[in-house]
Amino acid sequence: MNPDILYEDNHIIIVNKAPGDIVQGDKTGDATLGDAIKHYLKMRYDKLGNVFLGVTHRLDRPTSGVVVFAKTSKALIRMNDLFRRGEVQKVYHAIVAKTNLGLLEPMTLEHYLTRNERLNKSTAHQKEVRDSKKAVLDFENIASSDRYSLLKVHLHTGRHHQIRCQLAAIGLPIKGDLKYGAPRSNPDGSICLHAREISFVHPVSKQPIHVVAPYPQTSLWQFFDNGE
């Protein structure tokens, strides 16, 4: 696993996660993206002993796109504060089956999500229910093929499987996402959800950071990359 590095300085490193990579260790025991970055840092900077690397946020395993790691404890604390205060802007792109309506109008979705830990799945409710959390996102249709639409999604809240769950709740499951109602899986086990952009003020230098993650190298993503 060779990390695809999009940005790096003394305090943070931003990478483009491939679908199938896991950000942090889980019950599978599989090698993680974090481990790969630690190895890269150790080799590049000839570091002795352990390498510090802090996880500031996560992406689902079948999802691709931009992930920020902290190289120092100062950056980790401050990045966590930025995420907690909602000062990190993230844009996702998702591919869904094209509807009979053609290009979808821009839309705001508001649901209340409950999480089933055993199934690792969330359920969307129209009204607040016990143990639910409010979830809000905006999306717009930015491109279409004969069969699929490319959506640009902006999150207002950060809930478990939020985009996957909310889009499925209105009849737009993400391509390949069997867990949320897609009719078939993608050959590589991915889902067509990509963390496309991230923007924030650098936690140490205070300079604006804006990073765009290239799409995965599959024919459908590349069709939209060429046509966008």
The DSSP code for 192 is S
Cβ(62)–Cβ(176) below 8 Å: yes
Question: Which SS3 state, helix, strand or coil, does residue 52 take?
Answer: coil
The DSSP code for 204 is T
d(CA 36, CA 201): 26
Task: Please tell me which residue in 60, 131, 138, 188 is annotated as part of the active site.
Answer: 60
d(CA 208, CA 74): 18
Cβ(169)–Cβ(62) below 8 Å: no
d(CA 143, CA 125): 29
* 60 in active site: yes
- Residue 139: both structure tokens together: 């999306």
d(CA 10, CA 7): 11
- Residue 227: both structure tokens together: 């046509």
Strand blocks (E) in 26-132: 54-55, 64-70, 89-97, 107-116, 121-125
Q: Which amino acid belongs to residue 64?
A: S
Q: SS3 for 159-185, per residue?
A: CCCHHHHHHHHCCCCECCCHHHCCCCC
Residues recognised as catalytic: 60
